A and B are shown apart, each in its own frame.
Chain A
Amino acid sequence: GCFCLKKTKHTPGYEEPTVLAAETPFTVSEVEALYELYKKLSNSITSDGLIHKEEFQLALFRNRNRRNLFADRIFDLFDIKRNGVVDFGEFVRSLGVFHPNAPIEDKIEFAFRLYDLRQTGFIEREELKEMVSALLHESELQLSDDVVEMIVDKTWSDADTKGDGKIDREEWKEFVLKYPSLLKNMTLPYLKDITMAFPSFVLSSEVEDTEI
């Protein structure tokens, strides 16, 4: 048979794996594996090769209409260019922060921006209360408002060391270094096995073509 090699058509915002590997903790083959995952996610609802918020939520919850405060914020942080969609470069750079080998400073900064809901440059007490309440609302944990206030107060007095009613980056860094478990969600062990989960079919098919 005759195999006609077509030039691979990439999604909008595609960047060379070598470039992305140089800027992130991923290897070139891991970036290629992430591209397989990216293509799947970005074509799950609309086939435009970009990840929309609904597609992100569908991937996280298997439900495109489920709203979640943190899924919204994480999507916004992935959307580095702030144009309402996540392209391949943004996807890889953002996931890079969650790699087990990413610098802890990057994880601390990402978490700070995540919790700084209103993007004022500080985590405010109101924001902390809002996050805890939103989470309790969606979970099966039933805690009274008094108990929530007590928990928030205790955390706040521990974190707001300057006592000015807001947590700045410096206080946040001190706080998470004191309680490193707070960063556990900032590391995704899956990212170390990404080439096993998403082998690059493109590369293997090219090898076969050469052999033929």
Chain B
Amino acid sequence: CNLNAFDIISYSSGFDLSGLFEEK
């Protein structure tokens, strides 16, 4: 199993700040 635990964390939507820049 080559999955890195921190790579899994980076899938989190909470870590994706691009939502801040989307038109609401």
A127 to chain B, nearest CB (A): 11
- Residue of B at shortest CB range from A73? B14
Q: Is B1 in contact with A41, judged by CB distance below 8 angstroms?
A: no
Q: Give the CA-CA distance A147 to B5 in the complex, in Å.
A: 11
Whether B9 and A188, one on each chain, are in contact in the complex, defined by CB atoms closer than 8 angstroms, is no
Size category, A interface: 35 or more
The verdict on A19 contacting chain B, using a C-beta distance below 8 Å, is: no
With A68-B13, A139-B11, A151-B8 already in contact, the answer to whether A190 and B18 are too (CB < 8 A) is yes
Q: Report which A residues bind B (CB closer than 8 A).
A: 37, 40-41, 44, 59-62, 68-72, 74, 95, 98, 115, 128, 131-132, 135-136, 138-139, 141, 147, 150-152, 154-156, 158, 179, 181-182, 184-185, 188, 190, 194, 197
A182: contacting residue among B6, B13, B19, CB under 8 A? B6
| Given known A-B contacts A151-B8, A181-B7, A188 and B18 have beta carbons under 8 A apart | yes
Q: How many residues of B contact A (CB 8 A)?
A: 21
Given A44-B24, A68-B12, A135-B12, also A74-B6 (CB < 8 A): no
**Residues of chain A contacted by B10 (CB below 8 angstroms):** 181-182, 184-185
Residues of A contacting B: mostly: helix
A141 to chain B: which residues have CB within 8 Å? 8, 11
Given the complex, which residues of B lie within 8 Å of A37, measured CB to CB? 20-21
* Cβ–Cβ contact A60 & B6, under 8 A: no
Contacts of A184 in B (CB 8 A): 10
Set of chain B residues within 8 Å of A128, measured between Cβ atoms: 5-6
The residue of chain B having its C-beta at the shortest distance from the C-beta of A188 within the complex is B17
| A185 / chain B contacts, CB cutoff of 8 Å | 10, 15-17
What is the CA–CA distance of A131 and B18 in the complex, to the nearest angstrom? 20
Complex partner residue of A151 from B5, B11, B14, B20, CB under 8 angstroms: B5
Minimum CB–CB distance from B24 to chain A (whole Å) comes to: 7
Report the minimum CB–CB distance from B15 to chain A (whole Å): 5
Is the pair A60, B24 in contact by a Cβ cutoff of 8 Å? no
User: In the assembled complex, which residues on chain B have CB atoms less than 8 Å from the CB atom of A68?
Assistant: 12-14
